[in-house]
Amino acid sequence: MPGNITHATPTAVMPARLARAFQESLRLEANLNMYPDGSSDRLALAQNVRHYFAMTEGLTASDWVTLKNFFLQWQGKAFYFYNLRETVPPFTWDPTGANPVGRYTVVFDGSWSDTYQAARTAVTLALREVI
Extents of the domains making up the chain: 16-33+41-129
pLDDT digits (tens, 9 = 90+) for 110-128: 888 888 877 788 888 999 9
Dihedral sign for Cα atoms in the order 17, 21, 26, 30:
negative
* Dihedral-angle region of residue 45 (phi above 0 means left; psi in -120 to 50 means alpha; beta otherwise): alpha
DSSP per-residue letters across 41-89: EEEES-SS-EEEEEE-S-B-HHHHHHHHHHHHHHTTS-EEEE-TTTSSS
pLDDT digits (tens, 9 = 90+) for 36-73: 999 999 888 888 888 999 987 788 888 989 999 999 99
* Amino acid identity at 90: P
Predicted TM-score (pTM) of the model is: 0.81
